[in-house]
Structure 1
Amino acid sequence: MPVITQSAKDTEVFAWELLTHASGIETWRRTLALVLWSWGASDATVEVARMGLSELMANVIRHVGDPRCRLSAVLDGGRVTVLLSDRSPRLPVVSQPDWDAESGRGLWMLREMCRGFGCRPVADGKDVWFELDLVAAGVEEVVL
């Protein structure tokens, strides 16, 4: 259930307490897309956000061991921040990937595609986030 936690002149926040399960990732990708489109996001921004959320949620499933987390989408002016808070204090390490490996490229690719990317420890775990322009620069929208 979405919770609007803040609404100001140029800032709006939607947040959800959720349990991460592989079968639920697409539902949250779709939910995030609907929120971003309601804010006027470009299709390119929405697609990167969907991919990024998949990566963050998959990492919680793979590495955290506790499925409880909080997903937040923050609109601040012309920028969107997608943040996933989980219950593990272990921060992800983003490094140049081994291109022959079967895994280990997701966060690196996400960081390269976004305006900003980061993680920080918090009292009960960590926050991992990425930031995008609401409307992707240099991308023309196709109107049918």
Structure 2
Amino acid sequence: MLRPARTEVRDGTRAPRPRRPRGPHRLRPDADKRDPRPAARRTVAEWGHPALADDVALIVSELAGNAVRYGRIPGRLFRVHLTLTKTALRIAVADPKGERLPQPRQPTPDDRHGRGLLIVRALATRWGVRERTVGKEIWAELDLTTSLPTDQCSDKP
């Protein structure tokens, strides 16, 4: 059985088909950069919310940076999930180190680190930490100003 191609050919060029989110979307970083930000930005724009793309990319950057810096175990990866519901866009980053839960802090002007969760808190409507069987998940949600048709959204946050 043949599967439909992921791209359509028009006038000799390839244009990506629009994707409809179904449940959590696991980002696959661009192969040459290993950076989840462009994939997050592109996914959010494809979902019809280009105005949120930069905020989502920044939140992904901060949470992924924390996962690499504080949640890394050699040989284990972290995961970035985006979920779109009727009312919110959820960003979740899971890493394998659950014994070290993040806490926002107040850095001094001379500190070079320590502002990431403050940035997440400023951009997100809600954020939090969920302990998992192995590791933890840090999540942030952005409320949507417009609602989407039911067939384009997941029922779960």
TMscore range, shorter length: 0.7 to 0.9
Identical aligned residues as a percent: 26
Please give the per-residue CA displacement for 1:77-112, whole angstroms capped at 9, x wherever unaligned. 131001011101111111233233111011112111
Matches within 5 A, 1:1-144: 7=22, 12-16=23-27, 23-25=33-35, 28-43=36-51, 45-66=52-73, 67-89=76-98, 90-135=100-145
Amino acid at match of 1:86: D
Distance 1:80 1:122, change over 3 A: same
- 2:134 counterpart letter in structure 1: D
Task: Describe the SS at the equivalent of 2:68.
Answer: helix
Which has the larger share of helix?
1
Q: TM-score, normalised by structure 1?
A: 0.74
**Number of residue pairs matched?**
121
Structure 1 gap ranges (5+):
137-144
Alpha-carbon distance in structure 2 between the residues aligned to 1:70 and 1:24: 12
The structure that has the greater radius of gyration is: 2
Unaligned runs of 5+ in 2: 1-18, 147-157
Alpha-carbon distance in 2 for matches of 1:34, 1:48: 12
Give the superposed CA RMSD: 2.3
1:36-78 alpha-carbon deviations (Å, 9 max, x no partner): 11111132x1111101111111112211232512211000113
Letter in 1 for 2:113: S
